[in-house]
Structure 1
Amino acid sequence: MSDKHLSSRFDVDLNLLLTRLLEMGGLVEAQIARAMEALNAFDLTLIEQVLESERRLNVMEIEIDEEVSNIIVRRQPTARDLRLLMAVSKCITNLERAGDEARKIAKRTRRIDEKHVGLTVNIAEIKASGEMAADILRRALDAFARMDTVAAAQIVRDDEAIDNAFAAFVRKLITSMMEDPRTIPVGLDYLFIAKAIERIGDHATNIAEFVVYVVKGTDVRHTPREQIERS
């Protein structure tokens, strides 16, 4: 968080805003966990929970963004405080989109359960990458709460493991579909699930990059990982 201000009310506003951000992040984490558990067990109750909770995320995004705008109007912040408020606005957008990806996982899981009875694909890489994506999102939110640039840089580096798991799964999936064309429909559904998990990792990485933006004043989006680590 930013340093203390002459206006204690400003500090209260910022702390409440961060609390709402972390609340939204916790909801997204729960969404991802439910979606992955639904994929593992084909639990239709969990699928419906994911789809229902996604609407709450949309409402939270609007509410938090509106509060960011109100604080900017009331307090007219500058420098790091303004960067923090802008970063919060961008973080909630990434959280909402990560929630959308969890919804996609749930919907594809329901489709697999309904349409592809008896057709199976080894999805060990998907499960592993799902766990990694959930972990780096949790760590990204923690880094944002503490404004920890070292932890943020590590998250950016760790996202590469999710990308590698996705690439490995795609290669294996293509081989499987070539060997047995009957698996193509279910394989494509699993491909969409794997891509959704990769995107969750990307959104977590974006949140980590906003930590560097707030603390250093440098926009490191689209910047090579090595350069972010040096920063």
Structure 2
Amino acid sequence: MPNDKIGGHYSQAYDDELQLAVARLLQMAALAQQQLRDAMTAFTAADLALAQQVKQSDRQVNSFEVDIDEHCLDILARRQPAATDLRLVLAILKSVNDVERIGDMAKRIAKALLRELPDSRPSPAQLNTLNQMGQDVLQMFERAIAAFEQMDAKAALSVLRDEKAIDSSYDSILQSSLASMMQDVQQIAVSLQVSQVAKSLERVGDHSRNICEQAIFLSKGSHVAHLSDAELQQIVDRKRD
């Protein structure tokens, strides 16, 4: 469905080009979401075939990245966008990179299973903890993309605030893994694997945060990286430039 916040130019073709850029980003994000969902399912269920499928599908995400980059660069060269249009194209170019990196994280989770040593499966409790973190991260990613699509600064800020819970989950898993390794050397391989998957999920949270920052940039016209929560709130509360 076309975004009603994009368009209104003298050229319908120009409107269509901008709409297509957003639509392609959303398609790429949907593919990366499915990759991440499948990667966690594969890891939890020890499904080697699904893990291999996730690894191979990374090429599709990379193909999206190249296609969208070329499309946006063509818009920049031919249309010479300004103001809101320029912000949109730049935000898409940056967000495409984050979505591609999320696809890489999904592939890394799948590869963690494919490299798994015999008799080195995480315990049910470890898998449950990782699975819960995976669900939280996936939801954060989905909400970040929705905020970007709607150019909704308030929704983006809400997602940014939830990242702290992701970081807390990662810290908890890391501490638990370190404790396991210190108590039993036979747990080293499993604990390292669990830590690697948790780190990949934490990185998905970081990239989702970047997408939210681009959503705020789109809506408010301000770069918001490295700002405090109070500073972010001030920018979100003000009227659009």
Assess if the C-alpha contact under 8 Å between 2:141 and 2:205 holds in 1.
yes
Q: Does 1:212 align with 2:219?
A: no
Residues 185-210 of structure 1 show CA distances to partners (whole Å, capped at 9, x for unaligned) of 22111111100000001111110110
| Whole-angstrom CA distance in 1 between matches of 2:62 and 2:76 | 22
CA contact (8 A) 2:39 2:54 kept: yes
Looking at structure 2, the residues matched to 156 and 119 of structure 1 have their Cα atoms a distance apart, in angstroms, of 33
Q: TM-score, normalised by structure 1?
A: 0.95
2: CA distance between counterparts of 1:79 and 1:28?
30
Change (3 A) 1:173 1:215: same
Which among 64, 69, 87 is matched to residue 68 of structure 2?
A: 64
Could you tell me how far 1:129 is from its partner in structure 2?
A: 1.2
- Per the normalisation by structure 2, the TM-score is 0.91
Determine which of 28, 37, 45 is the counterpart of 2:49.
45
Give the AA of the match of 1:117.
D
The structural deviation recorded for 1:59 is 1.1
Written as runs of structure 1 = structure 2, the 5 A alignment for 1:188-203 is 188-203=192-207
Q: Which amino acid aligns with 1:218?
A: S
1:120 is aligned, of 105, 119, 122, to 122
Alpha-carbon contact 2:52-2:114 (below 8 Å) kept: no
Amino acid at match of 1:163: D
Q: Deviations over 1:86-145 (max 9, x none)?
A: 000001100000000000000002222xx1415534323321111011101111111111
1:224 is matched with which residue?
Answer: 228
Q: Percent identity?
A: 36
Aligned residues: 229
- 8 A Cα contact 1:24 1:57, kept in partner: yes
Could you list the runs of 4 or more consecutive aligned residues of structure 1 that deviate by over 3 angstroms after TM superposition? 118-122
